[in-house]
Amino acid sequence: MPKKVVLLGGTGSIGSSVLSIIRSYPEEFQLLGLSGHSQKEKIRALVEEFHPAYVCLPELPEWRENYRGINFLSGEEGLNILASLPEADMVVIAIAGLAGLGPTMAAIQHQKHLLSANKESIVAAGPLINASLDATNRQIIPLDSEHNAIFTLLTRFERESVKNIILTASGGPFFKKPADSRTSLQDVLKHPTWSMGSYITVNSATMLNKGFEVLEAHYLFRIPFESIRVLIHPQSLVHGIVELTDGTQVMVASPSDMRYPIGMAMFYPRIPPRSESSFSLVVKPLEFFDIPEGRFPLLKLAYEMGKKGGLFPLALNALNEEIVGACLEHRIRFIDIEILIEKGLERFSASEEARLSLSWESLFPAEKKARAIAQELIEERQRAN
């Protein structure tokens, strides 16, 4: 019997790769539930193609009348129902941003087999998610390529033998030549190796994406920040490396195509029986570089916020979502992002919300505060530019 898959965020970039695996392996997987947010026509096309039994949208669509056998759900409540369906064998969270947190928690509380790409929720609420995973004896299988590589490696070695984990970063478009005031959004969105949503592509250019991934790894694998390193690897073929106590480094390599880590996660503990494309290490030289001194300050800042803990990782994420959103709307320049995030964290530190400890009650006021600070800063910057 094929495994019944619930996919939240099916219209996005990760969602499309998940659907591509389901398409390739109809004998292994069947789409049970699907959610999408803004691309209503795309959701309808997916409903036509996959005939899932459950579909969730922000609001109930008029066209539901044409699909009598399907259960239509809506809003946050609908997402939580989808994430906890008793008949689901697998729940995949491919939603972007903090909107993924509610369904992540619903899936854990209902002891679902959970796969997630939604790093923002793990960054913002890692300790709360971990407490819930411990209470229900569950784990999250990561879809993010670096984390999936590390996950695969960690199943092979005893924890005492692992000295460090290393996440690779492409370095983005500004590794060789830093961005300046003439850098356009088009330059930023030209990612050298990966094709992804625009928000995560901007985060790759500032390297805050890697910063978030350091926090994601810290919570997912419960490894101290001191043992998580980042190396620039412009070819993006090696995704994660585990350094063992004797100095041996073991790495995972695959093409920069999210179907590889997603396939590994969906088949876990098996391995997908066929490859998605041909792949050879001969085609390119493999290079690795340390982060150049003084470059990519947001990566360093992410480590600092991770060590500070509390509501600071959440504030960093919320500030970044607003500030990058303003950059994507051409309201501020790319080079403003770093400065505004640094200022935003200073203002957040001085707020009452920053003194609260991380809890379900404090998450949303802190997020609201950080978003309000970001908007103040964006408006100030727009007036100055």
Q: Can you give the binding site for Mg ion, defined by CB under 5 A? A: 144-146
209 labeled part of a ligand binding site: yes
- Identity at 363, one-letter amino acid code: L
- Name the residue with the smallest CB distance to Mg ion: 144
Question: Is 353 an interacting residue with respect to ligand NAD (CB under 6 A)?
Answer: no
Which range in 88-96, 148-156, 333-341, 373-381 contacts ligand NAD by CB under 6 A?
88-96
Distance of CA 31 to the CA centre of its chain: 22
Quickly count helices (H) and strands (E) in the chain: 14, 11
Nearest approach, Cβ of residue 171 and ligand NAD (Å): 16
How is residue 256 written in tokens?
């920069």
| Strands ordered across the beta sheet of 162-169 | 228-232, 162-169, 238-244, 249-253
Nearest approach, Cβ of residue 146 and Mg ion (Å): 5
280 labeled part of a ligand binding site: no
Q: Out of 4, 6, 15, 174, point to the residue binding ligand NAD (CB under 6 A).
A: 15
Question: Is 231 an interacting residue with respect to ligand NAD (CB under 6 A)?
Answer: no
CA separation for the pair 337, 318 (Å, rounded): 13
Question: Is 101 an interacting residue with respect to ligand NAD (CB under 6 A)?
Answer: no
Residue labelled with tokens 């999250």: 140
12 labeled part of a ligand binding site: yes
Question: Is 266 an interacting residue with respect to ligand NAD (CB under 6 A)?
Answer: no
Question: Is 196 an interacting residue with respect to ligand NAD (CB under 6 A)?
Answer: yes
Question: Is 206 an interacting residue with respect to ligand NAD (CB under 6 A)?
Answer: no
CA separation for the pair 20, 50 (Å, rounded): 11
170 labeled part of a ligand binding site: yes
- Identity at 352, one-letter amino acid code: E
How is residue 119 written in tokens?
């790093």
Question: Is 99 an interacting residue with respect to ligand NAD (CB under 6 A)?
Answer: yes
Distance set, CA 229 to CA 165, 185, 264 (Å):
6, 29, 23
Which range in 92-100, 184-192, 276-284, 334-342 contacts ligand NAD by CB under 6 A?
92-100
- Name the residue with the smallest CB distance to ligand NAD: 12
Three-state DSSP state, 312? helix
Nearest approach, Cβ of residue 184 and Mg ion (Å): 24
Question: Is 96 an interacting residue with respect to ligand NAD (CB under 6 A)?
Answer: yes
- Supply angle C-alpha 305, 309, 312, rounded to 5: 55
Nearest approach, Cβ of residue 268 and Mg ion (Å): 18
42 labeled part of a ligand binding site: no
Question: Is 95 an interacting residue with respect to ligand NAD (CB under 6 A)?
Answer: yes
Distance set, CA 237 to CA 147, 217, 218, 240, 365 (Å):
14, 19, 22, 9, 40
278 labeled part of a ligand binding site: no
Identify which of 46, 52, 108 has the alpha carbon closest to the alpha carbon of residue 83.
108
Query: What does 224 bind: Mg ion, ligand NAD, none (CB cut-off 5 to 8 Å by kind)?
Result: none
Cβ contact 302:211 at 8 Å? yes
> Which residue, 117 or 363, is less far from Mg ion as judged by CB?
117
Residues facing 140 on adjacent strands: 114
Cβ contact 226:123 at 8 Å? no
Query: What does 14 bind: ligand NAD, Mg ion, none (CB cut-off 5 to 8 Å by kind)?
Result: ligand NAD
Binding residues: 11-14, 118-120, 144-146, 170, 191, 197, 204, 209-210, 213
Please report, as ranges, the residues that interact with ligand NAD according to CB under 6 A: 9-15, 36-38, 94-97, 99, 117-120, 144, 194, 196-197, 200, 258
Which residues belong to the annotated binding site for NADPH? 11-14, 118, 120, 197
